[in-house]
Structure 1
Amino acid sequence: MERIVGKTRVCGVSIDSETRCAHYDTARDVIAIRAACCDGYFPCHACHDAIADHAWRVLPRDAFDEPAVLCGACGATLTVDEYADCDDTCPSCGHAFNPGCKRHWGRYFAER
């Protein structure tokens, strides 16, 4: 399944209009992350694994200043550094992000 959020195509399993998916669907689960392996945006690694024909690769440190995190509430894109420093709130629209996502940092991004 795919959905356009803002101007960004997001792929995954049962994605709603704010990028919640079959795996993560609380009110705060409104981000999608760009995978380094294919430059596609996915709500989570499990969505990528369900539809891609290759393994997920984390974004390397040298890509942290490029757009990599999409706010599903407003469609704004953040760099990894902006996401890391946003206090779990979209700097564009103020929507709260799930603070638990950062516990999985190493699954999505290289260490800072």
Structure 2
Amino acid sequence: MRVFGSTVDDQTRCIHYRTEVDVIAIKFRCCRRYYPCHLCHAEDADHEAQTWPRSEWAEPAVLCGVCKGEMAVQDYLAVTSCPSCGARFNERCALHSHLYFEA
């Protein structure tokens, strides 16, 4: 799975978010491309970001950078670690969820 933006390693960390637990990328609804964060999308894409509406939360749109497994939005929002490999996710990402997913 290709991850766009300013990544700094093969686990989807980027120049904006690169702690041990910053290991997810989000498929932006507008372009169907994975980016590590909203800032990477803003810098790289030639369009405004669109959030995933609740009616589409069953869509696989979150990528674990550790095992490369995809998760549905609804599944990602219900966990703090990858259901496939157990990698911990940054719980502070919830502060930005409104940038990706309909509130």
- TM bucket, shorter chain: over 0.9
Q: How far has the Cα of 1:31 moved from its partner?
A: 0.2
- The runs of at least 4 aligned residues of structure 1 exceeding 6 Å deviation read none
Please report the RMSD computed on the Cα atoms of aligned residues, expressed in angstroms: 0.8
TM norm structure 2:
0.96
Q: How far has the Cα of 1:15 moved from its partner?
A: 3.4
Q: Aligned pair count?
A: 103
Name which of 62, 84, 88 aligns with 1:96: 88
Q: 1:21 maps to which residue?
A: 14
Q: 1:106 maps to which residue?
A: 98
Q: Distance in 2 between matches of 1:85 and 1:12?
A: 26
Q: Which residue identity is paired with 1:77?
A: E
Q: Distance in 1 between matches of 2:8 and 2:100?
A: 19
Identify the structure with the greater strand proportion: 1
Q: How far has the Cα of 1:21 moved from its partner?
A: 0.1
The 8 Å contact of residues 7 and 36 in structure 2, kept in 1 or not, is answered as no
- Structure 2 gap segments, 5+ residues each: none
Q: How far has the Cα of 1:105 moved from its partner?
A: 1.1
Q: How far has the Cα of 1:85 moved from its partner?
A: 1.1
Q: Which residue identity is paired with 1:47?
A: C
Q: How far has the Cα of 1:14 moved from its partner?
A: 3.3
Q: 1:47 maps to which residue?
A: 40
Q: Which residue identity is paired with 2:95?
A: R
- Structure 1 gap segments, 5+ residues each: 1-7
Q: Distance in 2 between matches of 1:75 and 1:20?
A: 13
Question: Which deviates the most, 93-102 or 14-23?
Answer: 14-23
Q: Distance in 1 between matches of 2:6 and 2:43?
A: 8
Q: Which residue identity is paired with 2:92?
A: G
